[in-house]
Amino acid sequence: MELFRKKSLDYLKRQATGKKGLRKAMGAFDLTMLGVGAVIGTGIFVLTGVVAAENAGPAIILSFIFSGLACAFAALCYSEFASMIPASGSAYTYSYATFGELIAWILGWDLILEYGLACAVVASGWSAYFQELIRGFGIQLPAWISGAYNPAKGAYVDILAVAIVFILSLVLMTGVKQSSRINDIMVVVKISVVVLFIIVGAFYVKPSNWSPFMPFGFGGVMQGAATAFLAYIGFDAVSSASEEVRNPQRNMPIGILSSLGICMILYVAVSVVLTGMVPYTKLGVGDPVAFALRFVHQDWVAGFVSLGAILGITTVLFVMMYGQTRLFFAISRDGLLPKGISKLTEKTKTPTRCILLTWLMATVFSAVIPLNELAELTNIGTLFAFIVVSIGVPVLRITRPKIKRNFRVPLVPVVSILAIVSCGYLMVNLSQTTWIRFAVWFAFGLVIYFAYGYRHSEIGILRRSAKPDELVKE
């Protein structure tokens, strides 16, 4: 059926290595830094306190372990696909090879929403943190440029969110090699700040603060795990870099799994120290890590933590914007969006127009749209992608068993089922309003596909031309 026409893996590899392919400039270390950059942000500097105070108490340690393991199931599935399909587009591209064009478009459209809103949400968060930092130096921005459009509060545009999106767009324009080096540096500094907190805080741990260990019961631990799961979201953006990686069959699984492992260790370590330094009942604040240091009169370290938080959010925004540009590139190259969007610069092989489109989308959303309610849409989009990829692993094992898999998910289909169940559980617990908005976005996407994408699809054109069938179908 034409709606479910698939790409062969040979065709995908030719796309990635041909004239329209991206430059291969990243190794396993860069990918790991990309993953850590995407995950370690507001989760470690904000969410730890909220989960401890409201859900799990000191047992937040277990919450982060359980949510990390749940995330690992999806990460394993992403790793198998990434080792097989070294092409941009992440879950969108994997679905094109597994389920066909319509499902790929639905997932691609879903990821556009995920990355687009994530960029806006993170940019707004960055602005709030930066304003808090400069307030300490006596600098106060006028109300009308200090927040998203809200006339009741006198706010009309978030100028700092606009500024950081613009700056990171310029960084992305320099090319993947240079921009990944800048990300590496920021991530190393960020990890150093987190490690500094762990070392200094360890001297102020009082074991009595860990009692009672599970004040909200096991149900509170699991509720905390559901919330903490969202702190790990972002590692999937690593898979969007497949086409720009040297030896992706080896390096992609290393990058995805090692970044998730590092983040899990850091989350657990911070949770242990944080709840040991301060009674969990006092951690329901906006900056729990810095608060804990102030609580033990280590204000000089608290200043470094504030800097780390800003760098942390900067790298999250960078990776989200990077993922969005590569998604636009992959969908446009396939003809489902106008082909001109995916044009590369001659010198750096950079998708400049994709970067400009991402910049425009993130700027408009973060500058003028209040995103407190829309943030859940980012989560539902991510969870949906996790589920589709997790289903895809056993499906492709059955439909194309002879494909060389440099990394294989162990215990299939058990791991896939665990990933689907854990992500599905989180999805059904999201609000009804989020589901309605998600459905409206899907409907809008289907209109675009049938009005434009179906007729302009590259493999559709190849099928209708005299090109040999094996280009598009195994």
Domains assigned to the chain: 2-464 (1.20.1740.10)
Place of tokens 């909200």: 216
Q: What is the pLDDT of residues 381-405, one digit of tens each?
A: 888 899 999 999 999 999 888 888 8
Cβ atoms of 112 and 336 within 8 Å: the answer is: no
Q: Which of 201, 195, 199, 168 is nearest to 183 (CA)?
A: 168
d(CA 335, CA 341): 10
pLDDT of residue 416: 94
What does the block give as tokens for 448? 């675009």
Q: Which residues pair with 26 in a beta bridge?
A: 245
Cβ atoms of 240 and 87 within 8 Å: the answer is: no
For residue 46, the 8-state DSSP code is: I
pLDDT of residue 41: 80
Which pairs with CB-CB distance under 8 Å and at least 24 residues apart come from 370-375? 370/148, 370/149, 370/150, 371/117, 371/120, 371/121, 371/124, 371/148, 373/433, 374/117, 374/120, 374/121, 374/437, 375/117, 375/121
Cβ atoms of 116 and 361 within 8 Å: the answer is: yes
* 300, amino acid identity: W
pLDDT of residue 391: 95
pLDDT of residue 472: 47
Question: Going residue by residue through the chain (474 aa), what tens digit of pLDDT does each one get?
Answer: 688 888 887 788 777 776 667 888 888 999 999 999 988 887 787 788 888 998 889 999 999 998 888 889 999 999 999 888 888 888 999 999 899 999 999 999 999 988 888 888 888 878 877 887 787 778 888 888 877 777 777 777 888 989 999 999 999 998 888 888 898 999 998 899 899 999 999 999 999 999 899 999 988 898 888 778 777 877 788 888 888 888 888 899 999 999 999 999 999 999 999 999 999 999 887 778 888 988 888 888 887 887 888 888 899 899 999 999 999 999 999 999 999 999 988 877 889 999 999 999 988 887 777 665 566 677 788 888 999 999 999 999 998 888 888 889 998 999 999 999 988 888 887 778 888 988 999 999 999 999 999 999 988 888 777 555 545 444
Listed in sequence order, the residues at least 6 apart from 67 whose beta carbon sits closer than 8 Å to its beta carbon are 225, 226, 228, 229, 231, 232
d(CA 159, CA 144): 9
What does the block give as tokens for 8? 């062969």
d(CA 456, CA 461): 7
pLDDT of residue 462: 82
What does the block give as tokens for 134? 């400069």
Listed in sequence order, the residues at least 6 apart from 200 whose beta carbon sits closer than 8 Å to its beta carbon are 293, 298, 301
What does the block give as tokens for 297? 């009169």
d(CA 382, CA 424): 11
Cβ atoms of 39 and 235 within 8 Å: the answer is: yes
Q: Indicate the length of the chain as a whole number.
A: 474
Alpha-carbon dihedral sign for residues 27, 31, 37, 40? negative
Query: Residue 125, Cβ neighbours under 10 Å: how many?
Result: 22
pLDDT of residue 242: 85
For 326-363, letters b (16+ CB in 10 Å) and e give bbbbbbbbbbbbeeebbebeeebbbbbbbbbbbbebbb
Q: Which residues pair with 146 in a beta bridge?
A: 158
